[in-house]
Chains A and B, each alone.
Chain A
Amino acid sequence: MKKNRLLALGLASALTLGLLAGCGGKPSAPGSTSGTGGDKSNSGAKPAGGVELTVVTSYGGDDGNRSNYENAVASYEAATGNKIMDASGTSNEEWKAKVLTDFQTGTEPDVLFFFTSSDAEPIIQAGKVVDIATIRATYPDYADNMRDSMLAVASDGKNYAIPSSGFWENMFVNTKVLSDCGVAVPGPDYTWDQFLADCETIKAKGYAPIACSLFEVPHYWFEFCIMNNGTLGEQLAIPGSATDAVGQKWAAGLNDIKDLYEKGYFPVNTLTATDAETVQLFAEGEAAFLIDGSWKINYFVDNYGDQLSDYAISYVPAKGERKASEAIGGISMGYFITKKAWDDPAKQAAAVEFVKHMTSDDVMSTFVTTEVTALKNGASPSGLNPLQQAAADANASITGVIGPVQDTITSESRTDLFANVQNVVTGKMSAEDAVASALALN
């Protein structure tokens, strides 16, 4: 009897202690992992002498550089014996919010590849990432292959991220569709009126003129449409209100998108389709124009490698003072080392080595083909495929590049603005109200 009681109490105590032990707030042991990727804090699974690093990047999903990233990670693991717990995702507003939430809840990764714009300010201001000067005090050769003048400067005047490859945003065209419609591939003098006329012709032929999901990724068209209602130099101006000059420019840009929607130039399901669906529409020859970024080239190489000659890089039609040869671009992402990894003696060197490896000339040359780079020696891509060559040709005629204005507003403001594009184009909300709503959250 006594035995049973003791057994019962013992079991209950073990259960209670086990439960409370799970709630303990002690940091994980050096070498174990913590973070976002469903990884395990099991030191037993750790390779002998190796370090496990949790890494979050935007090279997840169907990112065009996914295979380059995997190869680079594999070569780092082979060279160091360390293990990378990859928790990468696909870059969108939800992903950005999740990354920031991980930092706020103390489950940040050891190394983060993230936007260097206002998106990173919350983690910088919270002291969650380490600035480059501090890292160089211990590791003097950290990022010494990069041009310091091209490192992103945070609001406190310090540099935190080692830039990876840059990007450009421009218009992809499906040459097969254009040819079938008797429409010429647009040149650097392409005007908005010509574009509208071409869209009408393409639509009459039964194709969708523009491949775009206004539900998921209206931001490419937003950037160019507001530039069309202003100038390249004014692109980064933020409205003080929906009624001032910049606010009116934003509203006019939104109304241009509405005009395209009302004319039926977007896919029928543009308000319910995902980005992947509309890109596929373009890739498979059912849509003519697609505004996207340099990262999309590898998507076509990976998925439509045998028909790359069907695509070309062209220019986004211009109106007003803007020239079609002016585009969006720059370097907006880079590698951060988190304070958590830096303060962990077992992880510090491994994290530094990982970033140095990922931003080395050799690795960067597998990512950079036609994009801007901060490498002192430049990138040495090995041969360009037809689409990359088309991009290089188009870039040769680019007369001006500016960063996206969406990177300068808060995540909440941006989410609200782009979520309301569908309401603007369907007439449920005026463009001015959409701008005012977004500014209220900035």
Chain B
Amino acid sequence: MGPTLYRKKAPLIAFLLPAFVFLILFLYYPFIQNIINSFSDITGLGAPAQGLNTPWYANYATLFTDPKLRTALGNTVLLTICTVIFQVGIALILALLVDSIRVGAQLFRTLYFFPIVISATALGLMFNLIFLYNGGMLNQLLTNLGFAAENIDWKDPDHFLFTMFAPVMWQYVGFYFVILVTGLNNISQDLYEAAALDGCTGLNRVRYVTLPLLRNVLCTCLVLAITGSLKVFDLPWVMFGAGMPQDQGWLTGTYMYDQTFNRGNVDYGSAIAILIVVLGVLFSNIANRVFKPRNDI
């Protein structure tokens, strides 16, 4: 029955059609409309365009001269780098550690994955309390233990990057952890036993057996992490709002939202959205080339 079913393509096309229609309606049509909007003069969400901008590429010219967008791009690139190093890096270390224990592995899997199921808004509120200037958990700890003489403003220009990035890193470590642990479980024990007979144990086992065999899974994690970091919005928005501190805290996502929804600058927000898409495609292509999965593994 199976081969007959797949020889005839009509049923497959019929099954593919709903998803195709869905994508056309809710992805490609809005995307094309967004491109048109980025050349138009629109002063409010839902308001009709007042014709084209003068000149029509005005918003794209502004992209090159807007200092806040430059800040947003810088912060986003930095977030991407931190994501690769810390999010995937910490997830890898945790996965290797959990994989090497026999008791409690399932417990750790659940514990590390748990932040993923909490909404970003709730996490943002929680971290706001942790980093609160007056009476925040971190400041209380530091002052009471004598590590700080007075409260630290964790959202000021000297500290905001740490305060913004740390929760984002923490939130998604569990996601990559689970992927990597699954990858580790797929490595045959026979290989480890053979390596042990050859005298390869401890860190050498990780270096010469685990990491090479985990390469494809690791590459997938890195591509997901890089493209995901370009879209980060919710947690920084809840914690920092519009560009805190002093317009230094913008990310491309938060800046686009502020321009579109708070300032009514819908056409410029659309141009920023196009920029985010272009960057996303560019970054993911680079990541795919650099971390290209190998078929010989």
> Are A and B bound to each other?
yes
Instruction: Tell me, rounded to whole Å, the shortest Cβ–Cβ distance linking B45 to chain A.
Output: 5
Q: Total A-B residue pairs with C-beta atoms closer than 8 Å?
A: 99
Query: From residue 1 to 48 of chain A, which have CB atoms closer than 8 A to chain B?
Result: 1, 4-5, 8-9, 11-13, 15-16, 19-20, 23
| Chain B, Cβ-Cβ closest to A272 | B155
| Chain B, Cβ-Cβ closest to A215 | B244
Does B21 lie within 8 Å of A16, measured CB to CB?
yes
When each residue 126-163 of chain B gets 1 if its CB lies under 8 Å from chain A and 0 otherwise, what string results?
00000011100000000000000001010110001000
Let me know if A426 is at the binding interface, CB within 8 A: yes
Does A269 lie within 8 Å of B263, measured CB to CB?
no
Does A19 lie within 8 Å of B21, measured CB to CB?
yes
When each residue 160-184 of chain B gets 1 if its CB lies under 8 Å from chain A and 0 otherwise, what string results?
1000000000000000000000000
A103 and B241 CA atoms in complex are apart in Å by: 24
Would A101 and B44 be within 8 Å (CB), given that A12-B18, A16-B21, A23-B25 are in contact?
yes
Let me know if B57 is at the binding interface, CB within 8 A: no
Let me know if A396 is at the binding interface, CB within 8 A: no
Does B153 lie within 8 Å of A268, measured CB to CB?
yes
Centre residue among B1, B133, B265 by max chain A CB count within 10 A: B133
The dominant DSSP class at the A interface is helix
A8 and B25 CA atoms in complex are apart in Å by: 23
Instruction: Tell me, rounded to whole Å, the shortest Cβ–Cβ distance linking A128 to chain B.
Output: 11
Does B246 lie within 8 Å of A423, measured CB to CB?
yes
A271 and B244 CA atoms in complex are apart in Å by: 8
Does A269 lie within 8 Å of B47, measured CB to CB?
no
Query: Please, which residues of chain B bring their CB within 8 A of the CB of A94?
Result: 261-262
Query: Please, which residues of chain B bring their CB within 8 A of the CB of A215?
Result: 241, 244-245
Which of B9-17, B30-38, B72-80 forms contacts with chain A? B9-17
Centre residue among A9, A12, A103, A415 by max chain B CB count within 10 A: A12
The dominant DSSP class at the B interface is loop
Does B244 lie within 8 Å of A5, measured CB to CB?
no
Does B153 lie within 8 Å of A8, measured CB to CB?
no
Query: Please, which residues of chain A bring their CB within 8 A of the CB of B263?
Result: 97, 412, 415-416
A105 and B14 CA atoms in complex are apart in Å by: 33
Does A4 lie within 8 Å of B21, measured CB to CB?
no
Does A286 lie within 8 Å of B134, measured CB to CB?
yes
Let me know if A145 is at the binding interface, CB within 8 A: no
Let me know if B89 is at the binding interface, CB within 8 A: no
When each residue 88-112 of chain A gets 1 if its CB lies under 8 Å from chain B and 0 otherwise, what string results?
0000011001101101111000000
Interface size on B, residues (CB 8 A): 38
A271 and B155 CA atoms in complex are apart in Å by: 9
**Cross-chain contact of B245 among A1, A98, A271, A277 (Cβ < 8 A):** A271
Interface size on A, residues (CB 8 A): 44
Instruction: Tell me, rounded to whole Å, the shortest Cβ–Cβ distance linking A388 to chain B.
Output: 28
Does B14 lie within 8 Å of A8, measured CB to CB?
yes
A216 and B244 CA atoms in complex are apart in Å by: 10
Let me know if B264 is at the binding interface, CB within 8 A: yes
Query: Please, which residues of chain A bring their CB within 8 A of the CB of B160?
Result: 272
Does B156 lie within 8 Å of A428, measured CB to CB?
no
When each residue 93-129 of chain B gets 1 if its CB lies under 8 Å from chain A and 0 otherwise, what string results?
0000000000000000000000000000000000000
Let me know if A422 is at the binding interface, CB within 8 A: yes
Does B44 lie within 8 Å of A104, measured CB to CB?
yes
Does A423 lie within 8 Å of B247, measured CB to CB?
yes
Would A272 and B153 be within 8 Å (CB), given that A101-B44, A426-B246 are in contact?
yes
Does B15 lie within 8 Å of A8, measured CB to CB?
yes
Query: Please, which residues of chain B bring their CB within 8 A of the CB of A333?
Result: none
Does B21 lie within 8 Å of A422, measured CB to CB?
no
17 contacts between A and B (CB under 8 A): A12-B15, A19-B18, A19-B25, A94-B262, A97-B264, A100-B44, A103-B46, A104-B44, A105-B45, A106-B46, A215-B241, A272-B155, A411-B264, A412-B264, A415-B263, A422-B245, A422-B246
4 extra interface residue pairs, beta carbon distance < 8 Å, beyond A215-B244, A268-B153, A271-B245:
A12-B18, A277-B132, A412-B265, A419-B242
* Residues of chain B having any CB pair with chain A under 8 Å: 1, 4-5, 8, 10-11, 14-15, 17-18, 21-22, 25, 43-47, 132-134, 151, 153, 155-156, 160, 241-247, 261-265
Pairs A-B, 6 closest by C-beta atoms: A104-B46, A272-B155, A12-B14, A15-B18, A105-B46, A8-B11
